[in-house]
Amino acid sequence: MRITNTIHFRNLHGDIFGGVTAAIVSLPLALAFGVASGAGPVAGLYGAVCVGFFAALFGGTPTLISEPTGPMTVVMTGIVSSMTANNPENGLAMAFTVVMLAGIFQILFGIFRLGKYITLMPYSVISGFMSGIGVILIILQIAPFLGQPNPKGGVLGMVQNLPQLFAKINPIETILGVLTLAIIFLMPPKLKRIAPPQLVALIVGTIVSLVFFGNAEIRRIGEIPMGLPQLQVPTFTFSQMTVMVIDGAMLGLLGCIDTLLTAVIADSLTRTEHKSDKELIGQGIGNLVSGLCGGLPGAGATMGTVVNIQTGAQTAVSGLTRALILLVVVLWAANFTEPIPMAVLAAIALKVGVDILDWSFLKRAHNVSLKGALIMYGVMFLTVFVDLIVAVGVGVFIANILTIERLSSLQSQEVKTITDTDDAIVLNEQEKQLLDQANGRVLLFYLSGPMIFGVSKAIAREHSAMKDADVLILDLSDVPLLGVTASLAIENAIKEAIEKGRQVFIVGAAGKIKRRLERFGILQLLPPHHLLMDRTEALRQAVTLVNGHVVETTDSANTRYPADFGDTAVVQS
């Protein structure tokens, strides 16, 4: 049966089971991300509910599970920190406003059909960016894992305060964190199929803390307000307006990348094809509502999506079921989360950070491509210690420059000047005879493939080699794309040839190529009969010009062709 995004109940059992299982997986992560972000555990829960429900209802990937993710939490952590530092009274409300802006940007991306362009960036950049986010998430969990409050200054502040953190370590909370990590990492695969290791670790860690360390001073989640969320009024300040819009765009773009990469994984598991633009609109609506409800931003989550599909889900009913189950937890069962130790949640988030690291590419990047490895490590470094936008911008710019340089180098090999019957291009017998008769006074300028701006130097270089030729034939028959810079280089070559008294022919310019030449006024430089569609005819006319008489050629069938085109003037260089 073909899976579509239409909600139906023909697979009700599988969808409900998938939704319940995904909710169980989501609960500890939502709590951990809420605490890690600084917005509180309830923000993580409402983010999982709002983004999960509306993305499932309006999205374009039926089995996708959307919730707060590691990358989105890392960015949100920085936003909450900077907003509350600059405006302690309204900083948190402003951070939730940024979440709303991120949702609006995602809706706009979907409306303008930008989904197919979002993930068009080199893998080395994506890998470095995601691995950098994983490193940030790991570093930010060190303090709560050791039983200490997070120092100010984000990643740099954490790194600078590492000696003090280890000096003041809380042994009990650290033991609970180590126990949590041990359960997650060492839980047998057979048991993982029965219960998610994160949930088991959460329950075991909490029980151990109550039974063995009930009287110890341990930092716990504490009371979570139950009931419907208090709506957040969009809050702006003039001084922070630009920063908020930039943060919203960055958060929205990251959510798009995170979601669409997960959607591709869902496609491979279900053998279907998601609707990227519709998915972005659904994600945008979910994040807009999440910001209004005081929830964290979310995106497509790989772990939840895979679990959802593997347990039998086929439609968006599974995502709706998962969101409703988590809503029940928020409304009526939040008291059960009060005794959860912060160190246990820190350990769960730390494991997520380890999973975000692109271990597969990190291990072999230096063997695959040295330049790619340098870009990846550079993007990772900038992501961790400078800024996410700077990291992506610099990475994409350098990767694209290197790619363009490589493509231009390869494409430049397809810019050839031929004055005799060499093997540079394939010529038929008539063309070979005509070039032989020209005695080097006809220059065939052959271009093939896309003429991007990097090829303009090759065009100029090859044209500068034209010395004794009296006629220039520019063959564009095999050019599917002619860029602006390459067009200008061709224009300069033609103008220089005309100024030196040479005749110029253009061959094969049709469709978009012809229109581009017309817009530049290049075709107006030539007589109309010098624009031809057949290279053999152009060569015959050129040889007639340089030899001053009608030329005859013989093809393979020994048929003789007169070459009388009327214009028989000899061109002297």
pLDDT of amino acid 479: 87
The answer to whether residue 11 scores a pLDDT higher than 70 is: yes
* 333-347 per-position pLDDT tens digit: 878 888 999 999 999
Residue located via tokens 């070979």: 432
Report how far residue 443's alpha carbon sits from residue 435's, in angstroms, rounded to the nearest whole number.
9
Cα distances (angstroms) measured from residue 357 to each of 312, 373, 560:
28, 14, 71
| pLDDT band at residue 3 using 50, 70 and 90 as cut-offs | very low
Task: Specify the pLDDT at position 136.
Answer: 93
| Chain segment 390-436, per-residue pLDDT in tens | 888 898 889 888 877 776 676 555 555 555 545 456 677 888 888 88
Residue 226: predicted pLDDT = 78
pLDDT at residue number 478: 86
Superfamily of domain 413-563: STAS domain (3.30.750.24)
Separation of alpha carbons 129 and 377, rounded Å: 9
Cβ partners under 8 Å of residue 286, min gap 6: 50, 51, 52, 53, 54, 55, 58, 59, 66, 103, 298
180's tokens? 């949590």
pLDDT score of 404: 74
Listed range (277-291, 337-351, 484-498) with the worst mean pLDDT: 484-498
Judge whether residue 108 has pLDDT over 50: yes
Angle, helices 388-412 vs 370-385, to 10°: value is: 160
Query: pLDDT value at position 121?
Result: 79
The full set of domain ranges for the chain reads 12-222+268-357, 364-412, 413-563
* Stronger pLDDT, 370 or 171, i.e. the higher one: 171
Q: What percent of the chain has pLDDT over 70?
A: 88
CA 398 to CA 366: how far, in whole Å?
17
Query: Residue 197: CB partners within 8 Å, gap ≥ 6?
Result: 183, 184, 187, 191
Tell me: the pLDDT tens digits for 243-262? 999 999 999 999 999 999 89
Over residues 463-473, mean pLDDT: 73
Annotate 428-447 with b (16+ C-beta within 10 A) or e (fewer): eebbebbbebbeebbbbbbb
Residue 388 has pLDDT above 60, yes or no: yes
pLDDT digits (tens, 9 = 90+) for 125-147: 888 988 999 999 999 999 999 99
What are the pLDDT digits (tens) for 292-316?
999 999 999 988 999 899 888 999 9
**Distance from CA of residue 71 to its chain's centroid?**
13
- Cβ proximity of 498 and 504 under 8 Å: yes
Kindly tell me if the per-residue pLDDT of 467 is higher than 80: no
Helix ranges (H only) for 369-483 are 370-385, 388-412, 429-438, 456-464
| pLDDT score of 30 more than 70 | yes
**Cβ density class 274-301: b for 16+ within 10 Å, e for less:** bbbbbbbbbbbbbbbbbbbbbbbbbbbb
pLDDT, position 337 = 85
What value does the mean pLDDT take over residues 39-54? 95
Instruction: Look over the chain and give the mean of its residue pLDDT values, rounded to a whole number.
Output: 85
Statement: residue 568 has pLDDT above 70? no
Which secondary structure element, helix H or strand E, spans residue 300, and what is its range?
strand 299-300
Alpha carbon distance 177, 343 (integer Å): 5
Predicted pLDDT at 325: 95
The whole-number pLDDT of residue 466 equals 61
The pLDDT confidence band at residue 361, using thresholds 50, 70 and 90, is confident
Helix (H, G, I), strand (E, B) or coil at 315: coil
